[in-house]
Structure 1
């Protein structure tokens, strides 16, 4: 059976204060209650119960009976959760609108090459770039651990919305998962891929990504610090406005034009 504190903690994640959550949880355990009764169950001072219940009433989470003394009753759990969910969703919508309004200004103001220091962060950036693609994706993958389920899902989604996919590898352990999700035709190999694969020592190239001939990401694999966890770092840029990105874009575009007959732009 769940403990009251679990419910209190969960409600606080929805934006209720600790006292609001404790009073609401206490009231759900009572058919109705006065400030004294609620305070006893919630274990908070009666003087704080009144102001807390007023806030819960304003949020529509409790009903008030103007008796003497005042009595309160929690609305049904289903209705309460619907209200909290709607309010929580509204916070997301407000945040999304505000962030999207700010994003173009941010991107124009912050040109450059950016460093990423962990494997999870690299994967997150790769997936973000794949999800933003609307024309073409070129992804060179040189290690099977770097083609995880999240990346595969993003590649599948891009394929389904009509994005041209080109995945460079000469590793069967990379090729096979792509075939399993219907993307075998996207695989290509070149002398460049074979040269990258043959490199020894650390660090070595992990993956290269180019999206819509613009955003570029290049990652390096270092010696593992934790068994089974890739030690990956990367650099990425939003556009080909400087040497690193221009070089990577020209090399990848040339290899595509030479090996898979993709038109040079």
Structure 2
């Protein structure tokens, strides 16, 4: 059955071995079962069922009734999902803790410009930079398609923790979005933004981001169509000592300073 294979594949992705997944799925289709019955339904050797059941019991997914022969039953689906979710989340926590402990070792004082060739990865990097911001965010957006709900949520969270959010745009749709977004963002435009937006060359600028007068990201939109997502690439830097990053930081800081007066007048909310 297709549903059986889908369930088995999903359980394997969650960390179960093939035999564990097949035995557990077999048990969910039975009220209870002996090793012989489970092996028959799961299509695995009976000799492997007992050791597989032991591992599933250790995971909290199978219950045992002693007897001759021994009988097994699966826990409820709700319990199984809760157990697997907890185990899966613990893997993430372990990996995150390990990676964070290692990161300073090989990234200390590392400053360079990095290329990103995929829209989703560009967005993930922007979300990371916004999440790390402690003082100020300057985001210039040239297309409404580059301002999704996930990015708005990240800016809303930054605003909630006291980070100043400045948004430069010449797109009326972007201004309208921020007017309804419940974010205390200062929205402005400038001659430079209008000049960039008026160009018809390809690729064209998509998003510019600077956080805390340090990390910067510059993205480009390409005309080639991608299914359902913008065709966006980017370059970013975590420091301003690199020439390109220094130039971008200088331009964005100038934009922020020169439009400070207009920002107050154009604020979505004060």
Fold equivalence (TM over 0.5):
yes
Equivalent residue for 1:15?
A: 15
Q: 1:59 to 1:130 in 2, by over 3 A?
A: same
Find out whether 1:221 has 2:221 as its counterpart.
yes
Contact 2:164–2:185 (Cα < 8 Å) also in 1? no
Rounded Cα–Cα distance in structure 1 between residues aligned with 2:236 and 2:216 = 5
Equivalent residue for 2:171?
A: 171
- Scaled by the length of structure 1, what TM-score is found? 0.89
Equivalent residue for 1:33?
A: 33
Cα displacement (A) at 1:116: 0.8
Instruction: For residue 60 of structure 2, give the secondary structure of its aligned residue in structure 1.
Output: coil
Cα displacement (A) at 1:188: 1.2
Rounded Cα–Cα distance in structure 1 between residues aligned with 2:32 and 2:217 = 60
Contact 1:175–1:184 (Cα < 8 Å) also in 2? no
Instruction: For residue 53 of structure 1, give the secondary structure of its aligned residue in structure 2.
Output: helix
Find out whether 1:87 has 2:82 as its counterpart.
no
Aligned pairs (5 A) from 1:29-108:
29-108=29-108
Find out whether 1:125 has 2:122 as its counterpart.
no
Equivalent residue for 2:134?
A: 134
How many residues in Structure 1 have an aligned counterpart in Structure 2? 262
Aligned pairs (5 A) from 1:136-155:
136-155=136-155
Q: 1:205 to 1:73 in 2, by over 3 A?
A: closer
Rounded Cα–Cα distance in structure 2 between residues aligned with 1:191 and 1:256 = 13
Rounded Cα–Cα distance in structure 2 between residues aligned with 1:184 and 1:77 = 44
Rounded Cα–Cα distance in structure 2 between residues aligned with 1:173 and 1:166 = 16
Cα displacement (A) at 1:246: 1.1
Cα displacement (A) at 1:110: 4.0
Aligned pairs (5 A) from 1:199-218:
199-218=199-218
Equivalent residue for 2:267?
A: none
- Scaled by the length of structure 2, what TM-score is found? 0.87
Instruction: For residue 12 of structure 2, give the secondary structure of its aligned residue in structure 1.
Output: helix
Which deviates the most, 18-27 or 69-78? 69-78
CA deviation string 1:86-133 (max 9, x = no partner): 222211211111122122334326421000112222122112211111
Q: CA-atom RMSD, angstroms?
A: 2.3
Q: 1:30 to 1:221 in 2, by over 3 A?
A: closer
Unaligned runs of 5+ in 1: none
